[in-house]
Amino acid sequence: AQSVTQPDIHITVSEGASLELRCNYSYGATPYLFWYVQSPGQGLQLLLKYFSGDTLVQGIKGFEAEFKRSQSSFNLRKPSVHWSDAAEYFCAVEAVDYKLSFGAGTTVTVRA
Amino acid sequence: DAGVIQSPRHEVTEMGQEVTLRCKPISGHDYLFWYRQTMMRGLELLIYFNNNVPIDDSGMPEDRFSAKMPNASFSTLKIQPSEPRDSAVYFCASSTDRNTGELFFGEGSRLTVL
């Protein structure tokens, strides 16, 4: 069965600094991969997705992610973090039965 | 455009009571999902519908949980009787395309069972 691991439970980053969130997946076939963001008290919002093709995908809010098959990873990055990026971030993988399996999430705190 | 609308946003009830959570998906979306979020278990898919028909309810934890979708614009998740371990945030999400993986989530219903 497919699964997703987010090794970092909590990351603190200074405003203006770069951010990288790690995601490792376990899936036998070519995965469909996603990053979602959840602001406090809100539902999840899709940041970006990878299905095939270019391994570097661009998303909303200035985020990008890189798919590395050899490392079974799909890490999320942002060059310069804004205070509004403080949220919880979820990596997810989709199997053929359309079930999304979410990671445990990484909480990002942005300090001034 | 209105997003996915859930009600109530907050519900506090006593153990043994019936709880009904409601969801209105985005118009035109033919997939509807119910998720549960807890600190211990994270996000879990409970059930999903396609064109109002339940497709996979393998995530429904017990017979105390039931979900219906009587029409394209309304779904309910019912817990009867409720227990303290059901305390969680329940999310409804909808989608227009099986293969995009882009789910549109509501703001959730936070359930506390005392």
User: B20-36, pLDDT tens digit by residue?
Assistant: 999 999 999 999 999 99
Q: What is the pLDDT of residue A91?
A: 96
State the average pLDDT over residues B25-50: 93
**Structure tokens given for B49:** 């519908």
DSSP reduced 3-state for A62: helix
- pLDDT for the residue numbered A105: 95
Across the interface, whether the CB atoms of B48 and A98 are under 8 A apart is answered yes
Question: Looking at residue B1, what is its pLDDT?
Answer: 63
Q: Which residue has the higher pLDDT, B39 or B87?
A: B87
How many beta-carbon pairs under 8 angstroms link A with B?
46
The residue to which tokens 């305390």 are assigned: B87
Q: Among residues 1-20 of chain B, which lie with CB inside 8 Å of chain A?
A: 4
Look at B102 and A94 and tell me if their CB atoms are within 8 Å. Answer: no
> Looking at residues B42-62, what average pLDDT do you find?
92
Tell whether the model's pLDDT for residue A110 goes beyond 80: yes
Please list, in sequence order, all residues whose beta carbon lies within 8 angstroms of the beta carbon of residue A44, skipping any fewer than 6 positions away: A36, A37, A38, A90, B43, B91, B93, B103, B105
Which residue does chain A place closest to B3, by CA atoms? A43
Which of B26, B45, B27 is closest to B35 using CA atoms? B45
Question: What does the pLDDT read at residue B55?
Answer: 92
Q: Give CA–CA dist A21/A27, Å, rounded.
A: 19
Tens-digit pLDDT profile for residues A30-78: 788 999 999 988 899 999 999 888 899 999 999 999 999 999 999 999 9
* Residues of A with Cβ-Cβ distance to B91 under 8 angstroms: 43-44
State both tokens at A64.
């990008």
pLDDT of A15 strictly over 90? yes
pLDDT higher than threshold 70 for residue A81 = yes
Predicted local confidence at residue B19, as pLDDT: 98
DSSP A15: T
Peptide bond into B8 cis (omega under 30): yes
Closest residue on chain B to A105 (Cα): B42
* Interface test mutation site (partner B, options A23, A25, A39, A44, max chain B beta carbons within 10 A): A44
pLDDT in tens, B58-110: 999 889 999 999 999 999 999 999 999 999 999 999 998 765 678 999 999 99
Please report the pLDDT score of residue B101 as a whole number: 72
Task: Give chain B as a DSSP string.
Answer: ----EEE-SEEEE-TT--EEEEEEPPTT--EEEEEEEETTTEEEEEEEEETTEEEE-TT--STTEEEEEEETTEEEEEESS--GGG-EEEEEEEES-TTT---EE---EEEEE-
The alpha-carbon gap from A91 to the nearest alpha carbon of chain B, in Å, equals: 11
Q: Which of B54, B34, B55, B52 is nearest to B44 (CA)?
A: B34
* In chain A, alpha helices (H): none
Query: What pLDDT, on a 0 to 100 scale, did the predictor assign at position A27?
Result: 77
- Amino acid identity of residue A51, one-letter, is F
